Structure 1
C-alpha cells in the first residue's frame, strides 16, 4: 500500500530564506532531491525526514503528514473566527 506523504518543505524553506541548494547541502542530498520532495515525487527516508525537520527546528509531523495540510488562507480564517 502506497500512501501520499504531504509536506511543507517549500514553505519552511522560503520562510528561512534558503535555496534548494542550501537546504540540500544542510542535509547532505542533491538539490534535485529537495525539488522531488517538495513536489511530492519522492518520499523521504525516516533519516532524511528527521534531518529536514532538524534544519527548521520543528517536529517532523509539522513538516510531513499523510493528510493534506490546510491552506494558509484557511488557517488564517480559522484563527480569526
Structure 2
C-alpha cells in the first residue's frame, strides 16, 4: 500500500533530520496530528504536500516512494544526500563515472544464476 510506504519514509527522513513531529508539521504547515496520520500511513498526502514535505526534509520527493530507504547503508544515504544538493553539471559528471565503472565491472563479474 503506497500510503504506508510514503508514511514510513516520511518518518524515516524526519528522524534523520532530528525533527520532532511537531517541528516537522510546523515547517510544512500542517497540524502535528495530521503529520502523525501521514507517518502511520492513515492519510494520503496530495502531490503538493509531498513536494513541501520533501523540501522540508531535504530529500527528493521520489525518495518518499522508495520501498525501503532504511535498508540502504548510512554511507550510501550520506552520498545520496550530498548528490541531491549538487548542481546538475556535477551530478551528470558523477553519473557518467558511475555508469562507466558499472559497465567495466559487469564484464568482469561472474554470472549469477
- TM-score under structure 2 length normalisation: 0.55
- Residues 47 and 14 (structure 1), Cα distance of their counterparts in 2 relative to 1, 3 Å cut: same
Q: Distance in 1 between matches of 2:50 and 2:69?
A: 21
Structure 1: which 5+ runs fail to align? none
In structure 2, the residue matched to 1:53 is: 54
Deviation, structure 1 residue 19: 0.5
More RCO (CA 8 Å, sep 6+) = 1
Matched residue count: 71
Aligned partner of residue 19 in structure 2, secondary structure: coil
In 2, the alpha carbon distance for the partners of 1:25 and 1:72 equals 25
TM-superposed CA distance for 1:55, in Å, is 0.7
Where structure 2 has 5 or more consecutive residues not aligned to the other structure, the ranges are 77-113
Aligned Cα RMSD in Å? Answer: 1.9
Aligned counterpart, 2:37? 36
Q: Which position in structure 2 is the counterpart of 1:4?
A: 2
Once the two structures are superposed, residues 17-55 of structure 1 have per-residue CA deviations (whole angstroms, 9 ceiling, x without a partner) of 100010010011000111100110000011110000001
Q: Is the 8 A contact 2:54 2:61 kept in 1?
A: yes
More helix by share: 2
Q: Which has the higher strand share?
A: 1
- Runs of 4 or more off by more than 4 Å in structure 1? none
